[in-house]
Chains A and B, each alone.
Chain A
Amino acid sequence: MSKAANCVFNPEKNTIDCHGTWSILNTQALFSQFKNLNLPQEKVVTLNGQQIDYLDSAAALMLIDQVSHYEKKGIPIKLTGFSANHKALLNLVKSKKISPQTVQMSPTPPLLYRVGVESVNKLKQIDGFTKLLGELFLTFLLAFRRVKRFQGASILANIDTAGLKALPILALLSFLIGVVLAYQMGIQLQTYGANIFIAYLSGLAIFREFAPLITAIIVAGRTSSAFTAQIGSMQINEEIDALLTMGISPVQRLVMPKVLGLLIVFPLLIFWADIFSLMGAMFMSKWMLSVSYYDFLMRLKESVGLKQLMLGIYKAPTFAIVIALVGCFQGFRVEANADSIGSQTTKSVVQALFLIIIVDAWYSIIYSWMNL
């Protein structure tokens, strides 16, 4: 099978002698041999195929291409000596071959058209997202008629995967952020000799911004993508359609438990991040600025207080709803191909992060209006 194939021009007899296994794996070699044949002009050349012991359609197509190529150059080639089987294959290939030029990909539409399509697409997404939000709210209200519809077990499972299992990574990252924050501020404070203000500055930054954002980023990365992949594969498996035909709302069955689970666990996660960020800041303050743990905590209590902590935790419900809904929404948009899950998962994480930062900015604006 791995025997070589070759074709040699014999100038005396004016023939091309062909030998060996003419298979797809040898076609490349045959191509270059044909190129170097050095055929004489204006003379009929005979190609003798008697010695070819194996011919497949790739080699046959190559042969036919080469013959017509030389014919165009004014060198007709006559095929002789092929076995009946090979002749039949050559005829089949000749009759079935299509030139690639005749089949064109549909041309790319003009730029303006694509901009239009994409805009409509985006508007439809907003429309779909709003509908999902509305349906979720309605399902939530209707669920009060029968408490079982809240899917307690499913909520608990979501709390476990989205919350409990995120605790170690959240603790580690929060601690590191606390350390970095205290270090950066500490350098400035040290030059003014205002070491003790580290508690106020880092406490305020952690409670109001850093802890909620770090939590949101981790949950968006872990959970939003998981929601998209789960609902997306259910979509491909037609499980969503199965639910619909049974008259069960996918929003009630799949989306609501996720949103509720995240709503419950998100404030707790922020609090968890608060604790570890502060520990990081305290550790750094003692190490670099010689502020004792006791002094740090006392200053924190007097100058920052519970109010700032709560201002951070108030962000939790919005973040939770944004992350869960974006994840689920992108999951429902998955189409039946393997690429789709990947691209929708990416979209869900990027959109969740994007929306979180927007929402965080709104919170800042609202807090400043309220002079908080």
Chain B
Amino acid sequence: MTTPPIIEVTGLKNQLGDFWVHTNVNLSINQGDVVAIIGGSGSGKTTLLKSLLMLLKPTDGCVKLFDEDIYALSPKALRQLRKRFGVLFQHSALFSSLNVLENVMFPMREFTHLPEHFMKELALLKINLVGLPAHAAYQYPSELSGGMQRRAAAARAIAMDPDILFLDEPTTGLDPRSARRFDELIIFLHQTLKLTIVLISHDLESLKTVPTKIAFIGEGEVLACEPYETLINNPHPMIKEYFHGGD
């Protein structure tokens, strides 16, 4: 028997106001995949992510994480489940009143009873893993550059050693060099920590190198889910327009 996919979305429908964002989204992601979700603006990428993160209850459909239907779980089981994924938000969403070290230690403090010095050591390890200099640990988010903030947020996202890492436009707003270096970080984390990664991205350069599969959303459903090389030659008109312009 093969292992069930780590994320499975079947028949997802989402209605926002009078507008159907998703009509029939089907997506399955296996352990160890790096999947990018792309699509034109307004196609419902962020809404899909919110449905996966249990921030927005879908109108209809089934979302399974770790082979469990997340909208049928008890609140207690949900809390357990939430510890198994980390999220990096578009604008980093670091707590501005805490320094980087405290930000990374925040989820550990909430969920574990580890001794303080060990938490500190673990947080410093994460900070080092994401490529931040050690002295940044005691700096506040407002004192860091955009790229460093993104890295600090990544450190917080992997603080609890999640199995899945969600990234919402991780390279948007970074200069090309920082963006490429952040791509390298994502690949590094994927390879070393064996993370399953779901990312939303508009960055064509990242799409070429980071994901193993790309899910293209349009017309309320997943139009294609395949590697970059085959996706760019996909004959669907919407996908063609996305990659090659209006020709």
Binding site for B on A (CB under 8 A): 1-2, 23-25, 27-28, 31, 56-58, 61-62, 65, 85, 88-89, 92-93, 96-100, 102-103, 105-106, 335-339
Within the complex, the shortest CB–CB distance from B240 to chain A, in Å, comes to: 38
Which residue of chain A has its CB nearest to the CB of B96?
A: A337
Are A57 and B121 touching (Cβ within 8 A)? Answer: no
| Cross-chain contact of A58 among B84, B95, B161 (Cβ < 8 A) | B161
B238 at the interface (CB under 8 A from A): no
Give Cα A28–Cα B118 distance, bound, in whole angstroms.
10
Give me 7 A-to-B residue pairs in the complex whose CB atoms sit less than 8 angstroms apart, sorted by A's number: A24-B111, A27-B114, A31-B115, A99-B121, A336-B96, A337-B97, A337-B142
Interface flag for B140 (CB, 8 Å): yes
Contact in complex: A24, B118 (CB < 8 Å): no
Supposing A89-B193, A339-B96 touch, asked if A102 and B161 sit within 8 A by C-beta, the answer is: no
Contact A61 B121 (CB under 8 A): yes
A339 to B80, CA, bound (A): 30
Which residue from B95, B112, B138, B141 sits with its C-beta under 8 Å from A24? B112
- Neighbouring A residues of B135 by C-beta, 8 Å: 103
Q: Provide the residues of chain A in CB contact with B124, threshold 8 Å.
A: 97-100, 103
Interface residues on B, range: 35 or more
Cα A25 to Cα B163 with chains together (Å)? 13
A337/B112 contact (C-beta < 8 A), A88-B192, A98-B134, A103-B135 known: no
Secondary structure at chain B's binding surface: helix, strand, loop or mixed?
helix
Given A1-B84, A100-B120, A103-B135, answer yes or no on A57-B125 (Cβ-Cβ < 8 Å): yes
Contacting residues, chain A, for B214 (C-beta < 8 A): none
Q: Is the CB of B118 within 8 A of A65?
A: yes
Interchain nearest-CB distance for B143 vs A (Å): 10
In the bound complex, residues from chain A placing their C-beta under 8 Å from that of B160 are: 24
B137 within 8 A of A: yes
With both chains docked as a complex, state the minimum distance between the C-beta of A119 and any C-beta of chain B, in angstroms.
Answer: 24
Tell which of A25, A56, A103, A335 touches B142, judged by Cβ atoms closer than 8 Å: A335
Is B83's CB within 8 Å of the partner chain A? yes
B104 to chain A, nearest CB (A): 12
Name the residue on A nearest B124 (C-beta).
A98
Q: List, in ascending order, chain B residues with CB within 8 A of A2's CB.
A: 80
Q: Which of B96, B121, B161, B194 is the one whose CB lies under 8 Å from A97? A: B121
Which among B122, B128, B134, B141 has the greatest number of chain A C-beta atoms within 10 A? B122
* Alpha-carbon gap, A103 to B96, bound state (A): 21
Q: Say whether B121 contacts A65, CB under 8 Å.
A: yes
In whole angstroms, how far apart are the Cα atoms of A231 and B14 in the complex? 37
Chain A residues with Cβ below 8 Å from B121 are: 61, 65, 97-100
- CA–CA, A28 to B115, complex, Å? 8
A336 touches B142 (CB 8 A): yes
Task: Known A1-B84, A96-B128; judge A58-B96 contact (CB<8 A).
Answer: no
Q: Is the CB of A28 within 8 A of B125?
A: no
B193 contact set on A, CB distance < 8 A: 56-57, 89
Complex Cα distance, B189 from A57, in Å, reads 12
- Decide if B112 touches A92 in the complex (CB within 8 Å): no
For B244, the chain A residues whose CB sits under 8 A away are none
Nearest-CB residue, chain B, relative to A236: B96
Q: Which of B80, B115, B121 has the most CB of A within 10 A?
A: B121
A65 to B119, CA, bound (A): 12
Q: Whole-angstrom distance between the alpha carbons of A106 and B138 in the complex?
A: 8
Are A23 and B161 in contact, with the CB atoms below 8 A? yes
B177 in contact (CB, < 8 A): no
Contact, CB under 8 Å: B142 / A89: no
**When A and B form their complex, which 3 residue pairs have the shortest distance between CB atoms, in order from nearest?**
A337-B96, A56-B161, A339-B97
Among B66, B112, B125, B140, the residue within 8 A (CB) of A61 is B125
CB distance from A35 to the nearest CB of B (A): 11
Please give 8 more A-B residue pairs, beta carbons under 8 A apart, in addition to A337-B97, A339-B97: A1-B84, A24-B122, A28-B112, A57-B193, A98-B125, A99-B121, A335-B142, A337-B140
CB-based nearest A residue for B191 = A88
- What residue of chain A has the Cβ atom nearest to residue B108's Cβ? A24
Min CB gap B74→A, angstroms: 14
Q: Which residue of A lies closest to B83 (CB)?
A: A25
Contacts of B97 in A (CB 8 A): 337-339
Q: Which residues of A contact B224 (CB under 8 A)?
A: none
Check B122–A89 contact: CB distance below 8 A. no
B70 to chain A, nearest CB (A): 15
Query: In whole angstroms, how far apart are the Cα atoms of A249 and B115 in the complex?
Result: 53
Distance (whole angstroms) from the CB of B87 to the closest CB of chain A = 17
- B192 neighbours in A (Cβ, 8 Å): 88-89, 92
The CA-CA distance from A100 to B95 in the complex, in Å, is 22
CB distance from A16 to the nearest CB of B (A): 20
Chain A contacts of B127 at CB under 8 A? 98
Q: Which residues of A contact B142 (CB under 8 A)?
A: 335-337
Chain A residues with CB under 8 A of B112: 24-25, 27-28
B78-89 near A? 1/0 per residue, CB < 8 Å: 001001100000
Which B residues, 61 to 120, have Cβ-Cβ distances below 8 Å to chain A? 66, 80, 83-84, 95-97, 108, 111-115, 117-118, 120
Picked from B66, B83, B113, B140, the residue with its CB within 8 Å of the CB of A28 is B113
Closest partner residue, chain B, to A106 (CB atom): B138
